[in-house]
Structure 1
Amino acid sequence: MPLHAVRPKILGFISEQASAWLVGLVVVLVGGALTLVVAWAAADLNRQQVRQRFQLLVNERYSRLEERFEDQEQRLGSLRRFFVNSENVSHANFNGFAQPLLLRTRAYSWAPRVLREQRLGFEQQVSRELGEAFSIRELSDDGSLVSAAVRDEYVPVLYSQTQSVLGSPLGFDLLAQPLRRSTVERARRSGKIAVSLPMQLVGLEPSYTPGVLLVAAVSRPATTHMPVNEPYGYVMAVISMRQLVADGLPNAARDNLVMQIVDTSDTQQRVLYESNNPVADSSGQEVTRRLTLGDHVYALRLRPSQVFEQSNHSSVTSILIMGGLLSLLLSALLYVLVSQRQRAIKLVQQRTGELRVREHQLRTAHSQLRSVLNAATQVAIIATDLRGVINTFNAGAEQMLGYEADQVLGIMTLENLHQPSELTVRAAQLSQMQGKRITPAQAMLVEGTDSLHEAREWTLVRKDGSQLMVNMLVTALLDDHGLWIGHLAICLDVTEQKRVHEALAARDRLLRKLSAHVPGGIFQFTLEPNDNWRFIYASDGIRDIYEIEPGLLQQNAKLVFERIHPQDAERIRSSIRLSALQLSHWREEYRVELPRQGLRWIRGEATPEELPGGGTLWHGYVSDISDLKRVEEELRALSITDSLTGIHNRRYFQDRLKAEMSRVRRTSGALAVIMLDIDHFKRINDQHGHAVGDGVLQELCRRIGVRVRRSDVFCRLGGEEFMVLCPNTDGDQAYGLAIELWQSLRSSPMVGVGLVTASFGVASWRVDEGVDSLLLRADSAVYAAKQAGRDRVEAERLQV
């Protein structure tokens, strides 16, 4: 039956005669249709999920804001109840109660209600309590505070607790400004919390200035001065809407919602808060909810942000791409399968003709092989039979050993060409390894058959008796049926190679001897284009530097970087890359952490050169400079330490004071200094001698040193003058510390001298003040203590 009589279908349903292009086109169309159906279903499901996620986020955000608005009402209500239930509330009572309430609130204030006939007595009473002049004031046309005009009623701010400069100044009449007046009147009429229209707060960043004022009336039982149920004052809260709303919410780069809050009671519909993050471009979703604060209703508008859109993107595009790719891949696969099947039949006939041609070529292979053997003049090829008698001896063997082929073929064995003593030694080794006797004649043959045809160096004897070192590979010769018919030996002259290896070994021994007497370690290091770090050479001195064997270092260069201190590792890598880029001399000092020696300082230097194939090669050395670093640290410590007392000296104090001044200017923190001068120190030196005076200085430093805090800096300025630098400390805290130091100094007499006292001066940093001004105020306080009789603590004098 001819080959084309039976034509099976491909995959059981595709006819072999069908066009491969038609099959591929049908598969693409079907796959595209299925992909569109799946993409439509996925898009519909994604839209439903996005709507549900948006509603969940809206409900959570609305609930959080509603709780915060209710919390502000409750806090102001608790402050009102505090006044209702208290007979008399002092300034300290107000501050103690209002301070914990300052959560998301800029300020709390108390403003009593004062009638016109009560104004004079009220101002005099408050002036006595404050210790300074107090009057009810209002804003003039130019924005300055002036005495309030005569009115039937006043509501002046008496107490204020604030986070910043917000809040009305003391004595400011709330009824003098229309916005605050309307809010106060609504609070009086309703008896509930009244909220002002949007107002701009001062002293804040622009985004935090929109805010509102919450006012609640405080009433008490009837008195002779006030009718029944009339309020006798008002408690107020100043709220920044951004602080109230945005505190604790995700930042703009991560927020899923865009918020906007509008006061619906405001005729201008001003925006009190609006998110900084952009709105989603393609989303049409929007939700508006009502928020109530006091007597005002606010509209909360929520829309999805671009972050929400990016985190909830549809997978339709991915489905279309993957579906299209799968359709194309399947169509291409079927196209290849159909076309390859059609080409396979044609190739069978073509390969049959080629095999006939190759059969003819194999007949001539034997003669060609002989020619090849004779052409290999640099390699000796020797074949033997099972007895070891040579039956092949090519031209390379004749040239290498000096024999003619006629003198060897059928006459000599492979054993005759070897050095007898070498065969005897090898035979003994093989006999011991294999547990049976191996004759010298079989030594090189057993080596070849039992050791997976590994090459081995042997010494051959030429015709003239001279010796020749060769690398010989012995393999078994098999016939067409796999029967062992002899051996084949291939020999390569390695005499010159051995000489070169011995010369290189001698050079390596000399290099090791030289490097052993060099302090530190010598190395060759390469950085290849694929960012591969490698040590070409590392002397024995590297072992002491890094506690790593040089051999391991050449295998894995990363072991060195594991020893380098983490704070220095990236700097060293960057400097190496820069040296490779600029071909500049590399020199670095860095720390290493060793298992046995601990922390050590290393100095490395190397000169780079560019390699022909790309990459950089460095020749350099490393040395241990830990002793030098230790000396440098000791010299630095001596430069900032007073040699007599052991505490810091004037130089260290000036450096630390400048650093702390820079810090408080950036962070608006607190800073104070305490200066002290020993009383009558010259008298101590004159009466008891300078040695006793030095002992007094040392004992004073000991007593003061155990009393100062861990964060304080205690220094000797010179002679009997000392200074304590107190970071993050205000004037009152520094004064308290100075009292403790003064008491510790005069608590007990000093041996041989008696009671030693000192005069203390305290000064705290003021805004925009320099170093000299701060020290001058501290020195002035010490001078004042001296003038007042010494042995005392004087605080800084306020400059009027």
Structure 2
Amino acid sequence: MSKCGVRAKVFGLFSQALSAWAVALVALVAGGLLTAALAIAAQTFYKQQLRQRFELLANERYSRIAERFDDQEQRLDGLRRFFSYSSEITPREFDGYVKPLLHRTQAYSWAPRVEVGQRESFERQASAWLGQPYHIRDQDAQGVLQPAAARERFYPVLYTQAATLQGQPYGLDLLGQPLREATLARASAPGSMAVSAPLDMINVEPVYARGLLMVAPVFAERGPDNAPSGYVMALLSMRQLIAEGLPPPADDNLVVRILDTSGSNGQEALYDSQNPVAQIPMASNHLLHLADHHYQLSIRPSQAFLQANRSSAVHTVALLGGLLSVLLSALLYSLFSQRQRALRLVEQRTAQLRISEQSLRGTHNQLRSVLDAATQVAIIATSLKGVVGTFNAGAERMLGYSAGEAVGQLNLADLVEAEELGQRAHALTVRYGREIAGGQAMFAETVQEAGAEPGEWTLVRKDGSHLLANMLVTAVLDEQGLWVGYLAICIDVTERRRVHEALAARDRLLEKLSAEVPGGIYQYRLDADGHSCFPYASQGLYDIYEVDLQLLGEDATVVFERIHPDDLERVRRSVRYSAEHLSPWREEYRVVLPRAGLRWVRGEATPEIGDNGCTLWHGYLTDVSDTKRVEEELRALSITDVLTGIHNRRYFQERLKSELERAQREGLELAVIMLDIDHFKRINDEYGHAVGDHVLRSLCQHIGQRLRRSDVFCRLGGEEFMVLCPGSDAEQARWLALELWQGVRSLAIEGVGRVTASFGVAGWRSGEGADALLLRADAGVYAAKQAGRDRVEVVLL
């Protein structure tokens, strides 16, 4: 070998090695870039999930705080109405009403208006009421209570009920401090309510000492200058109001701050959870409303939130991506480095093929025998002009011509139906913009597009009958790559076409039938590995779930995402039970759809065992929302009194039974109030039943407005009514009955005038049944009527 040849081979090997290294390096760089992109995408997705979880927690916390603010306003408003509708309230009555309201509240107080001339008499009367010395006092700068200075009017604290009863500020004049006086001034109109700037509360635990004073005026009677007759007050500690019921700061996912931005010294934090803030740019700010004031609520994620939502996806993606990039680079280097060996093997293989060529020539006759053996396939070879040169036994059997009749005698175009050939020739002429004869039509696609798919042609047999065949026409090349003719392979598809048409007709019939059936018909498949899909789903299933039917054929997960969260586990459990026991599946559940909203669905299906251990259900689904709505309406009608709009006897009996069981189980208090309108028959006889119905509706409306949210107001029948008071004992129910009695007797009904009612009150005793409790309440009504009507009687025995 010459020296130049050796040098060329050495340079060739060096070039091949260099190419392998270059490809491996490019693959490594590309893999690194792709890994970085995936890591960035994973990090972005993680941040989005983190923000969504934080916003969900922040909105829930804001709703809870806002609900507690609204609850405080409603309680104080209820206390105001208690004073507004009562002519005189004793300390015992005040304590009985306020004690149930002290949840999350430091104290409730009542401060009546005292004119300067009434001071001494008021102090003597208050001392007698409270059973201790009472003086109207002011608080000095050191927090010591001293006798109040002379002023035209006082609003001293008379009644107070607090979490701790030691050292209550009886007699403290609210006008003695500018901060409290300014708060009263803002709450001087009927129905108004005001909250003070942050202040230090008296005789309160140090942790709750900083708080707010919320006041509401009472106008039972107007004084000089239309001044309120007194104020009801609530002392609120933000820490007690907000933190109660929340996890410890170390475990809380949120950092919560409530700021008062209206103070003279700038912002003041009324509440701060004081847990560490996570160093991520997330915050949720809201505006809270309490009485006549607004506070800024700031919510940020805590370190506990960040620790609970850590994700290792980014590191995993980076590690796996880097590892795969290195493996791919090593693989490519190995493949390219073997190229030289592959080329040498190709040279050896080429020499072997040349030897095999001689052997192939000897197999020509064997190939002819193979062609003749293909009796189900027609193989026809032609010249460039289309004259038949080869006509195998399958062609003879299919077309009815013998090889002698076809070879050299027939053209391939003679075997195709003339009208169809003319139509295809015309279509090709229009397509290519030049004239194409009928004989060239079957070759044109092969000439223009190599590797064309078989086409369906109508062939003509020797006896003139027709058959439908798949015919693939390809070019025949010589050793130099020149065209020397065409090869046509035909397969009779007449029977297959008939079967396809029958199947298509069946599918059309199935679609038509499924379109007429209300709801959707489906086949549901559950594999052993947990994967599920809908191999068949009629168009009605789209209306049920509003999901693309093609997507359902691949994965059924999106269907379960549409099911209402409260019903999802029940539906999954019923499907698993049906699969395990091969029992029919029947279920009613709710779905939440993007357009239709909340809907009710009823489904039935029958399971069977399928291939590879899967389970197949055949069934249907239908929308039963209208039926459910009618059921709900009927349920509402069955528990509502048609005349008055309040609950009827049936609902009262059901609710009384459940409340008795709960009281027995949890050791709670329970009481009932029964009332009967006095001389109601006389009203009907004198004014008519229409006026009597108006009286019933007016009294129900008036009483319903004065009841608490937890009380249940029902009509037993005629002029008899019942109030169920969960959580209240007999004494508390008696005060409520007195308030209702005062409201009824003070109500003037148009056309009738004043109407009265007799009340009976009974408190539940442990182990007592519903009949015994109602019997005692009824005995109270009877006693009230025997005593002259228009009164409240409590039955203790």
So what's the TM-score if we normalise by structure 1?
A: 0.54
Q: Is the 8 A contact 1:448 1:454 kept in 2?
A: no
Specify the alignment match of 1:147 in structure 2: none
- Separation in 1 of the partners of 2:796 and 2:595? 61
- Number of aligned pairs? 552
Q: Deviations over 1:579-629 (max 9, x none)?
A: 222211111223345677665433222211111333222222334444443
Q: Say which SS state the counterpart of residue 383 (structure 1) adopts.
A: strand
- Separation in 2 of the partners of 1:526 and 1:679? 69
**1:446 matches 2:444:** yes
- Separation in 1 of the partners of 2:774 and 2:535? 61
Specify the alignment match of 1:433 in structure 2: 431
- Separation in 2 of the partners of 1:778 and 1:546? 53
**1:460 matches 2:455:** no
- Aligned pairs for 1:55-94 within 5 A: none
- Separation in 2 of the partners of 1:367 and 1:741? 121
- Separation in 1 of the partners of 2:683 and 2:326? 105
- Aligned pairs for 1:574-723 within 5 A: 574-592=573-591, 599-661=598-660, 673-684=672-683, 693-723=692-722
Q: Deviations over 1:128-170 (max 9, x none)?
A: 98879xxxxxxxxxxxxxxxxxxxxxxxxxxx99969x99xxx
- Separation in 1 of the partners of 2:737 and 2:6? 111
**1:747 matches 2:742:** no
Q: Which amino acid aligns with 1:357?
A: Q
Specify the alignment match of 1:112 in structure 2: none
**1:492 matches 2:487:** no
Q: Is the 8 A contact 1:545 1:622 kept in 2?
A: yes
Specify the alignment match of 2:418 in structure 1: 420
Q: Deviations over 1:680-720 (max 9, x none)?
A: 33554566676665554344323333444554321012343
Q: Is the 8 A contact 2:647 2:714 kept in 1?
A: yes
Q: Deviations over 1:366-409 (max 9, x none)?
A: 55463443443322222333322233333322332233334333
- Separation in 2 of the partners of 1:163 and 1:652? 37
Could you say if the C-alpha distance between residues 577 and 489 of structure 1 is closer, same or farther in structure 2, counting changes exceeding 3 Å? farther
Q: Is the 8 A contact 1:735 1:762 kept in 2?
A: no
Q: Which amino acid aligns with 2:422?
A: T
Specify the alignment match of 2:371 in structure 1: 373
- Aligned pairs for 1:244-393 within 5 A: 249=248, 353-368=348-363, 370-371=367-368, 372-393=370-391
Could you say if the C-alpha distance between residues 635 and 783 of structure 1 is closer, same or farther in structure 2, counting changes exceeding 3 Å? same
Instruction: For structure 1, list consecutive stretches of 5 or more residues without a partner in the other structure.
Output: 15-90, 108-126, 133-159, 168-243, 255-306
Using the TM superposition, give the Cα deviation of residue 481 of structure 1 relative to its aligned residue in structure 2, in angstroms: 4.5
Could you say if the C-alpha distance between residues 539 and 402 of structure 1 is closer, same or farther in structure 2, counting changes exceeding 3 Å? same
Q: Is the 8 A contact 1:674 1:738 kept in 2?
A: no
- Separation in 1 of the partners of 2:772 and 2:502? 79
- Separation in 1 of the partners of 2:246 and 2:421? 92
Q: Is the 8 A contact 2:521 2:620 kept in 1?
A: yes
Using the TM superposition, give the Cα deviation of residue 422 of structure 1 relative to its aligned residue in structure 2, in angstroms: 0.4
Q: Is the 8 A contact 1:679 1:757 kept in 2?
A: yes
Using the TM superposition, give the Cα deviation of residue 431 of structure 1 relative to its aligned residue in structure 2, in angstroms: 2.2
Could you say if the C-alpha distance between residues 727 and 479 of structure 1 is closer, same or farther in structure 2, counting changes exceeding 3 Å? farther
- Aligned pairs for 1:413-562 within 5 A: 413-451=411-449, 453-515=452-514, 518-539=517-538, 542=541, 561=560
Specify the alignment match of 1:66 in structure 2: none
- Aligned pairs for 1:557-572 within 5 A: 561=560, 564-572=563-571
Could you say if the C-alpha distance between residues 351 and 390 of structure 1 is closer, same or farther in structure 2, counting changes exceeding 3 Å? same
Specify the alignment match of 1:136 in structure 2: none
- Separation in 2 of the partners of 1:247 and 1:497? 72
Which structure is higher in RCO with an 8 Å CA cutoff and minimum separation 6?
A: 2
- Aligned pairs for 1:11-410 within 5 A: 249=248, 353-368=348-363, 370-371=367-368, 372-410=370-408
Q: Say which SS state the counterpart of residue 621 (structure 1) adopts.
A: strand
- Separation in 1 of the partners of 2:385 and 2:336? 54
Q: Is the 8 A contact 1:593 1:600 kept in 2?
A: yes
Could you say if the C-alpha distance between residues 504 and 338 of structure 1 is closer, same or farther in structure 2, counting changes exceeding 3 Å? closer
Q: Is the 8 A contact 1:671 1:729 kept in 2?
A: yes
Q: Is the 8 A contact 1:533 1:557 kept in 2?
A: yes
Fraction of identical pairs, as percent: 55
Q: Say which SS state the counterpart of residue 637 (structure 2) adopts.
A: helix
- Separation in 1 of the partners of 2:790 and 2:579? 68
- Separation in 1 of the partners of 2:618 and 2:447? 47
Q: Is the 8 A contact 2:725 2:733 kept in 1?
A: no
Q: Deviations over 1:633-688 (max 9, x none)?
A: 34323332234433212221232234445556777777654332212335545666
- Separation in 2 of the partners of 1:335 and 1:599? 55
Could you say if the C-alpha distance between residues 458 and 671 of structure 1 is closer, same or farther in structure 2, counting changes exceeding 3 Å? same
Could you say if the C-alpha distance between residues 162 and 697 of structure 1 is closer, same or farther in structure 2, counting changes exceeding 3 Å? closer
Q: Is the 8 A contact 2:673 2:759 kept in 1?
A: yes
Q: Which amino acid aligns with 1:582?
A: H
Could you say if the C-alpha distance between residues 675 and 688 of structure 1 is closer, same or farther in structure 2, counting changes exceeding 3 Å? same
Q: Which amino acid aligns with 1:380?
A: A
Q: Is the 8 A contact 1:448 1:475 kept in 2?
A: yes
Could you say if the C-alpha distance between residues 420 and 678 of structure 1 is closer, same or farther in structure 2, counting changes exceeding 3 Å? same
- Separation in 1 of the partners of 2:582 and 2:742? 64
Using the TM superposition, give the Cα deviation of residue 574 of structure 1 relative to its aligned residue in structure 2, in angstroms: 3.4
Could you say if the C-alpha distance between residues 335 and 603 of structure 1 is closer, same or farther in structure 2, counting changes exceeding 3 Å? closer
Could you say if the C-alpha distance between residues 497 and 699 of structure 1 is closer, same or farther in structure 2, counting changes exceeding 3 Å? same
Q: Which amino acid aligns with 2:415?
A: L
Q: Which amino acid aligns with 1:610?
A: I
- Separation in 1 of the partners of 2:14 and 2:327? 14
- Separation in 1 of the partners of 2:549 and 2:416? 40
Q: Is the 8 A contact 1:476 1:487 kept in 2?
A: yes
- Separation in 2 of the partners of 1:521 and 1:331? 50
- Is the radius of gyration larger for structure 1 or structure 2? 1
- Separation in 1 of the partners of 2:636 and 2:358? 94
Using the TM superposition, give the Cα deviation of residue 445 of structure 1 relative to its aligned residue in structure 2, in angstroms: 1.4
Could you say if the C-alpha distance between residues 557 and 338 of structure 1 is closer, same or farther in structure 2, counting changes exceeding 3 Å? closer
Using the TM superposition, give the Cα deviation of residue 435 of structure 1 relative to its aligned residue in structure 2, in angstroms: 3.1
Q: Which amino acid aligns with 1:609?
A: E
Using the TM superposition, give the Cα deviation of residue 426 of structure 1 relative to its aligned residue in structure 2, in angstroms: 1.2
Superposition CA RMSD, Å: 6.1
Q: Deviations over 1:26-84 (max 9, x none)?
A: xxxxxxxxxxxxxxxxxxxxxxxxxxxxxxxxxxxxxxxxxxxxxxxxxxxxxxxxxxx
Q: Say which SS state the counterpart of residue 567 (structure 2) adopts.
A: helix
Q: Is the 8 A contact 1:579 1:585 kept in 2?
A: yes
Q: Deviations over 1:292-341 (max 9, x none)?
A: xxxxxxxxxxxxxxx9xx99x9x9xx99xx9xx99xx9999999999998
Specify the alignment match of 2:52 in structure 1: none
Q: Which amino acid aligns with 2:376?
A: Q
- Separation in 2 of the partners of 1:589 and 1:627? 13
Could you say if the C-alpha distance between residues 725 and 434 of structure 1 is closer, same or farther in structure 2, counting changes exceeding 3 Å? farther
Deviates more, 1:773-782 or 1:643-652: 773-782
Q: Say which SS state the counterpart of residue 364 (structure 1) adopts.
A: helix
Q: Which amino acid aligns with 2:351?
A: R
Q: Say which SS state the counterpart of residue 635 (structure 1) adopts.
A: helix
Q: Which amino acid aligns with 1:747?
A: L
Could you say if the C-alpha distance between residues 664 and 7 of structure 1 is closer, same or farther in structure 2, counting changes exceeding 3 Å? farther
